[in-house]
Amino acid sequence: MSESIDSARLMLLLNELRLPAIKQGWSTFAERADKESWPAARFLASLAEHEVAEHEVAERDRRRIERHLVEARLLPGKTLDSFEFEAVPMISKAHVMAICAGDSWIDKGANLLLIGGPGGGKTHLASAIGLALVENGWRVLFARTSDLVQKLQVARRELGLEAAINRLDRFHLLILDDLAYVSKDQAETSVLFELISARYERRSMLVTANQPFGAWGKVFPDPAMTLAAVDRLVHHATIFEINVDSYRRRAALERKQKGAGRPLKHATVSDFEPVTLRDNQTQI
């Protein structure tokens, strides 16, 4: 009886002292100490070493996530908590949370596509998913498609396109925002096609687009290139079709009804965060 009381007291004390590793592992060390007749000093030293090692691992993980968040270039303030799922009923929060684990699709080089009109929350959701994936240990890069296309075009002119695309391989997930806004000549969009082809079945992509696939001829002037790009993106993809009224239009109406200066009720499109694939999405 007294032993169980002592154990309970110890757990409370370790909670107060904020020693989670010792709290979790002390009983294992105690059993071994009893079996091998450890002196008290050895027992205490073993517990302390265990706590220090666990702390160092946790600190390394924290620093790594901080570095990855900096390099991800995600949009500030766009989180899953600030995304109003009730305003987008065709998106399941449970599905999105499952997608954010990443291990069911990113390690297979699968893709996630968010398709819908302007103002539906695609950018917010994409960035939020990216944030959740970084916190779960994945490396992510968020980029406006037009900006990345320009950088790749410069790399091609300098005969460094292959090297530039290879450098993007360090990211498990590449988020291309507003792909359908890219309406360039064939020389420019061909570098986008080369990027898609290089990552196909190797590294994952999350793409947001305002236009359905049938309108992507505006992005890729060559019909054959359009067909090949779509084919590679959707082959191993989960597709979210976000068909809702524009948030910006709804927010403007609310401001007009409630008067200027009131805080917005709904999150903006840029507030959405990245997610992983699940049941209520279309699997191609």
Question: In this predicted model, what pLDDT tens digit does every residue of 57-93 receive, in sequence order?
Answer: 667 778 888 999 999 999 999 999 999 898 889 999 9
More confident residue, 129 or 273: 129
Return the pLDDT at 251: 57
Residue with tokens 């929060």: 93
**Considering the chain, what percentage of its residues have pLDDT values greater than 90?**
45
Asked if pLDDT for residue 278 goes beyond 50, the answer is no
The pTM (predicted TM-score) of the whole model is 0.70
Neighbours of 206 (CB within 10 A): 29
Q: Among the listed ranges 114-123, 162-171, 197-206, which one has the minimum average pLDDT value?
A: 114-123
Band of pLDDT at residue 120, cut at 50, 70 and 90: confident
pLDDT computed for residue 263 by the predictor:
45
pLDDT score at 60: 75
Residue 165, pLDDT score: 96
pLDDT value of residue 257: 62
* 111-115 sheet: strands from edge to edge: 140-144, 173-177, 204-209, 111-115, 237-241, 282-283
pLDDT class for 35, splitting at 50, 70, 90?
Answer: confident
CATH 3.40.50.300 residue ranges of the chain are: 73-283
Q: What is the mean pLDDT of residues 44-61?
A: 72
Q: Does residue 174 have a pLDDT over 90?
A: yes
Q: In this structure, what DSSP letter does residue 256 have?
A: H
Q: pLDDT value at position 246?
A: 64
Question: Which CATH number is 73-283's, of 3.40.640.10, 3.30.360.10, 3.30.200.20, 3.40.50.300?
Answer: 3.40.50.300
Residues ≥6 apart with Cβ < 8 Å to 170: 139
pLDDT band at residue 250, thresholds of 50, 70 and 90?
Answer: low
Number of DSSP helices (H) and strands (E) in the chain, helices first:
10, 6
